[in-house]
Amino acid sequence: MSQMTYADAGKAALAESMRADPTIWAVGEDLGRGGVFGQYMGMEEEFGPERIVSAPISEAAIMGSAVGGALTGTRPVVELRFADFALCAVDEMVNQAAKARYMFGGQAKVPVVIRQPSGMWRSSAAQHSQMLEAWYAHIPGMVVVMPSTPADNYGLLKAAIECDDPVVYMEHKDLWGLEGEVPSGHTVEIGKASVVAEGSDVTVVTWSNPRHVAAEAMTALADVSVELIDLRSLWPWDRDCVLTSAAKTGHLLVAHEAVRDGGFGAEVVATAVEEIPGLKVARLGAPRIPIPYAPPLEDTVRVTAENIAAAVTRLAG
């Protein structure tokens, strides 16, 4: 058992995987200098510039080289700095990586991990703050993972590297410094949710940083027993865990940082309503506006502990 930050847990998972498998390599801008958030610090010294590759400023070239590398037998880990910048490489992700196994009848695979630091962080404004997980969950052939703790960042990154399909791996920028216990050899199964807290009145489903916001909200809900579920993976997602809990409580709230309209919360809610007659549901998410730069305006689009507590109270009532 080790105490690690979220960022260091990811670095440890990657380093351990690279020591065990020489076909694993990482590519992205400024990796030799440690990456924009320090999550690759010291790795070039250990593995060399052939495996910790500092690429030119071209997300399409970075992603294209990784897809080619994956198709020819290696296991690339792509660092795209910000989820927003990944939009420059969407063709390589969506039209190439996600479809190759299907279009070649299972003869080809693309085991690539696409790390996309996501979410609001220090007034980073409209082009550096987005949560775009629903886009990728919509694409057949893509796996979507969103860890919320150091232990999950360690265990899920290892699982993502071992996965034979392309994995969009979204780490929340506001969690880099979060500290927590990481058990030695910790593993997490992709597609398996975590029941953070058990309860009997309302099921709250969330993922990424809002998992911690929801946990804070629970401290203000002395009269409501909340079952808190962290999905961890959006595709595949743990339908059985969510449906079992929602059937027990009869009330389901899904809260996420991404824009509410068309968000993945709608998929969770729709699935639950189809399966559980009489279930009461609600969703929380950001309004459909660009994320502002000014801190007071940025705060107006956040899903807060107060928002979640109020929504749970309304739902339970």
17-20: which pairs have CB atoms within 8 A and are 24 or more residues apart? Answer: 17/157, 17/158, 17/161, 17/162, 18/47, 18/51
Neighbour count for residue 56 (Cβ, 10 Å): 8
Rounded Cα distance between 28 and 279, Å, is 45
Which pair of tokens denotes residue 220? 């203000």
Parallel, antiparallel or unpaired: strands 226-230 and 194-197: antiparallel
Which pair of tokens denotes residue 190? 């992709």
User: 61-77 burial by CB neighbour count: b if 16+ within 10 A, else e?
Assistant: ebbbbbbebbbeebbbb
Residues with a known catalytic role: 128
Is the N-terminal amide bond of 296 cis, ω within 30° of 0?
no
Which pair of tokens denotes residue 236? 């595949």
